[in-house]
């Protein structure tokens, strides 16, 4: 389960790289750790407004849902949805046809179990400011947007830094950004994009275990850290 993201990019940097403007610029704040275990909003690019960075509640809800977010997430966690389930016919599968989104982040977090100890890692782009996670979204009757991150098999690189689960967030190649968000892209083509190489060089940084305490987040968290000393 991937439930921690990072967005440390300043608003203007994110707008410039995503080639889109924030719909509500005053509501965006860079965050080192974004935990989906609490109801939080994250920036997304939608098929409806691909040139606008909207804010979405992380954790997909049915479009006609009117109850509490927390109740739904306790029953069926939709922070992530495995792409293998897109053919399952479950309630969320229709969103893949016309409710695809991109979730721009500066990184996410993984964990490795080694000799009885959990070692967390920060995964981010080696050169670019952002990576684009594949996702789906819904629009609730009150106008709020909710979203989920699509996951798929671990690639060879990330497999070195994640052994608690055998899947990873699927990253869309920046060159395919417009194609992923286009209403003219078929479901078959969109699924092909999920399986194609994202061509983004990633880097992993060991970080202190304070990440696991959700009340702790500090500026030096992503600084170089020797996990062998922890």
CATH number of the structural domain spanning residue 218: 3.90.1680.10
Q: What is the pLDDT of residue 2?
A: 83
- Local confidence band at 1 (pLDDT 50, 70, 90 cut-offs): low
Mean pLDDT score, 18-29:
96
C-alpha 145/C-alpha 100 separation (Å) is 12
Predicted model pTM: 0.93
C-alpha 186/C-alpha 27 separation (Å) is 33
- Summarised one tens digit per residue, pLDDT across range 24-81 is 999 999 999 999 999 999 999 999 999 999 999 999 999 999 999 999 999 999 999 9
DSSP string, 176-223: GHHHHH-TTS-HHHHHHHHHS-----EEEEE--GGGGSTT---GGGGS
Q: What is the pLDDT of residue 220?
A: 55
Does residue 229 register a pLDDT over 70? no
For tokens 């009150």, name the residue: 142
Domain range for 210 is 4-229
- Summarised one tens digit per residue, pLDDT across range 103-142 is 999 999 999 998 998 888 999 999 888 999 999 999 999 9
Task: Give the 3-state secondary structure of residue 159.
Answer: helix
Q: What is the pLDDT of residue 207?
A: 86
Higher pLDDT, 226 or 92: 92
Does residue 212 register a pLDDT over 70? no
Total domains present in the chain: 1
Q: Do 122 and 106 form a contact (C-beta atoms < 8 A)? A: no
């Amino acid at each position: 389960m991937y439930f921690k993201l990072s967005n440390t990019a300043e608003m203007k940097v994110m707008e410039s790289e995503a080639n889109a403007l924030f719909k509500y610029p005053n509501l965006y704040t860079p965050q080192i750790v974004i935990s989906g275990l609490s109801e939080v909003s994250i920036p997304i690019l939608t098929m409806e407004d691909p040139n606008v960075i909207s804010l979405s509640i992380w954790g997909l809800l049915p479009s006609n849902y009117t109850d509490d977010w927390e109740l739904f997430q306790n029953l069926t966690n939709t922070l992530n949805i495995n792409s293998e389930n897109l053919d399952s016919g479950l309630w969320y599968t229709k969103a893949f046809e016309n409710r695809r989104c991109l979730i721009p982040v500066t990184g996410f977090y993984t964990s490795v179990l080694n000799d009885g100890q959990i070692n967390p890692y920060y995964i981010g782009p080696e050169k670019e400011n952002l990576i684009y996670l594949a996702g789906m979204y819904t629009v609730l009757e009150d106008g709020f947007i909710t979203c989920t991150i699509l996951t798929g098999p671990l690639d060879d690189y990330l497999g070195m830094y994640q052994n608690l689960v055998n899947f990873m967030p699927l990253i869309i190649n920046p060159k395919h950004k417009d194609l992923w968000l286009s209403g003219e892209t078929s479901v078959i083509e969109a699924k092909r994009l999920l399986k194609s190489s994202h061509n983004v060089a990633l880097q992993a940084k060991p970080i202190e275990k304070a990440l696991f305490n959700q009340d702790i987040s500090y500026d030096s968290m992503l600084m170089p850290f020797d996990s062998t000393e922890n």
